[in-house]
Amino acid sequence: MIADGDVRRSLVAGALLIAHWVIGATVDPEPSWVWMLAGLACVIAGWHPVETSIRQIAARTLDIDVLMVVAAIGACAIGQWDDAGILLFLFSLSHGLEGLATERASSAISALAELAPTEATRVLDGIEERVAVSSLAIGDMVIVRPGERFPIDGVVAEGTSSVDQSPMTGESVPVRKEPNDECFAGTLNGEGLLRVRARRAAGETMMARMARLVEEGQANRGEAQRLTARFTRLYTPIVLLAVPAVVGGLMLAGHGFDDAFLRGMAVLIGASPCALAISTPSAVLAGIARAARGGVLVKGGAHLETLGSLRCMAFDKTGTLTTGRATVRSIECFNGASSARTLAIAEALDRHSSHPYAHAVRDAARAANAPRVEPTQVTDVPGMGVRAFIDGRACALGSPRIIDGTPLPESVQARIDALRAKGQAVALVVEEDRVLAVLSFEDLPRNGAAEVMADLGRSGIVRIAMLTGDAPAVADRIGAAVGITEIAAGLMPEQKIECVRDMRATGRTGMVGDGINDAPALACADLGIAMGARGSDVALEAADVALMGDDLARLPWAIALARQTRRTITQNVVIAMGVMAILVTLASFGHIGLGGAVVLHEGSTVIVAFNALRLLVWDRRAT
């Protein structure tokens, strides 16, 4: 690693400087060659800064390394080898320590991808074999024994066990897994043997996507980070031009060249914005890494910055504020249809759907032993439902809007109105424009959702709204249970966008959702937040932040972390600018020499780096 090399070189240079001072102080007369030790220390410690400076000059971009090298060359030119050696030694050491801090933060991210094993036990035709995880295909059956990590994302086919999902979701308590439950690569199996059917390829597991998206997100810099980078690029050439003016002014004031030059070099060091340059990126990187370890995927510094400044929050209902594990409460058939035929059609249409009500349909069909039929030309209709052909007939499943405005029979409409009055969601099963059945669903609020809404209010979120395509009675029932009073129901995806735009007039707005129909609103909000574990791939891609578990409590936790990151950035900038101002003032009036300027300057850089590193162990309970 580059950081390790910088630290090793600086330590060698430091040893040579100590030898130079010891020999010079104990041997009388001082050997003529002793200065060579200081010169060699300069060469070793300055190797990487000089190399970097040459590349910067060739690219016509002047940065902090150039300032340090210029100051060191100036000290050597007037015979101050000791001061030049101290400067390069401390600069190289601080760079190495900064690098180690950054690599530690980066490793917290890359470690996510390394949790998943490289081999798996696959069962093929009743025979177990060890194979590379990369060779697994969707649908393969794998065995996960007690104490093993899951090699792939999948669904439990056989067995029960407790699974530690903390690396991905941040849940501190193991989660019980039973048949039909989802499990994720990299999580740790507990006491039971599980047979798991793969549902994603190795490179597309949730863990792999988390690691990939976070690393890509590091390039997505926030406004504070962009301003800092722009400032240091413009500031460096200004300092290089100002230092000769300082030296000339001191000489005109009666100072000798050596004294004026050394003061100029001290001003050059004090004015170098090393600490400022790393103040923001180091904090952002540590904040993103800490969020990932807590089960929150933030796709870049800009989104972390926005997360910490949210004032409003909009929530989808189904699968976000509710458990998303609805049950079919009733089936009322019409036009001579049977429950078995109705459930067969509904199950076929919802077979591959990620909508939370689809699970309820599949569960009901399985419990009723409904016959299996095969759909063709399956089409999702966002905000309405699903259409397909079954046995050559056009079928549909979804809200009453799925029938394209055709008036419903009075008996069907009366049943829909009665169910909605009870706060239940409804769906129609349609075949060739004939309503076969009205299905009613009931979904329960998530445990702790009300506490999360209260926590968001205490965290400075001034406006919380529920946006849903469900009927008003359903939305009102859930809103009352979780403590949300601003409710917009019966919305199409484009109407959710209008509601989000309205909220943005109040302040920066986040939108939380999990389905395909939420993707437009997620993209429209200042910050899109997806429920990652059950969220659709479209929602995950449209969102800027993903809650990788199904625990809404991660949301106020993530907002608190983002705000702590913003405070850390402010602290770092104040430290960096304050030390720069003090050093330039002291150096200009000759109250601090070259060596002292180097020590304070590099010390502030290390302080800023390790202040940012504290975010890796941030705990909300301690704040």
Q: Is 537 a catalytic residue?
A: no
Find the angle CA(423)-CA(429)-CA(434) to the nearest 5 degrees.
120
Q: Which of 614, 622, 47 is nearest to 289 (CA)?
A: 614
Q: What is the largest CA-CA distance in the chain?
A: 114
Please give the full DSSP string across 194-207, using - where no structure is assigned. Answer: EEEEE-S-GGGSHH
Cβ atoms of 320 and 551 closer than 8 Å: no
Q: Which pairing describes strands 509-513 and 486-488: parallel, antiparallel, or unpaired?
A: unpaired
Cβ atoms of 443 and 356 closer than 8 Å: yes
CA atoms of 184 and 196, how far apart (whole Å): 10
> Can the peptide bond before residue 29 be classed as cis, meaning omega within 30 degrees of 0?
yes
Q: Which residues contact 217 (CB under 8 A, 6 or more apart)?
A: 288, 298, 299, 300, 301, 303
Cβ atoms of 155 and 196 closer than 8 Å: yes
Where do we find the tokens 């060890």?
A: 130
Cα→Cα distances 519→451, 525, 543, Å: 26, 10, 7
Cα→Cα distances 374→197, 327, 344, 352, 389, Å: 22, 23, 9, 12, 9
H or E segment to which residue 599 belongs: helix 594-613
Find the angle CA(440)-CA(444)-CA(447) to the nearest 5 degrees.
170
Cβ atoms of 588 and 597 closer than 8 Å: no
Cα→Cα distances 457→159, 315, 453, 462, 504, Å: 42, 14, 6, 6, 17
Cα→Cα distances 208→142, 171, 215, 401, 486, Å: 19, 19, 11, 39, 37
Cβ atoms of 185 and 150 closer than 8 Å: yes
- Cβ burial of 335 (10 Å; 0-12, 13-18, 19+) is exposed
Q: Which of 280, 273, 278, 272 is nearest to 308 (CA)?
A: 280
Catalytic-role residue among 140, 316, 455, 514: 316
Cβ atoms of 246 and 264 closer than 8 Å: yes
Q: Which pairing describes strands 509-513 and 312-316: parallel, antiparallel, or unpaired?
A: parallel
Q: What are phi and psi of 512, to 5 degrees?
A: -110, 125
Q: Which residues are catalytic?
A: 316
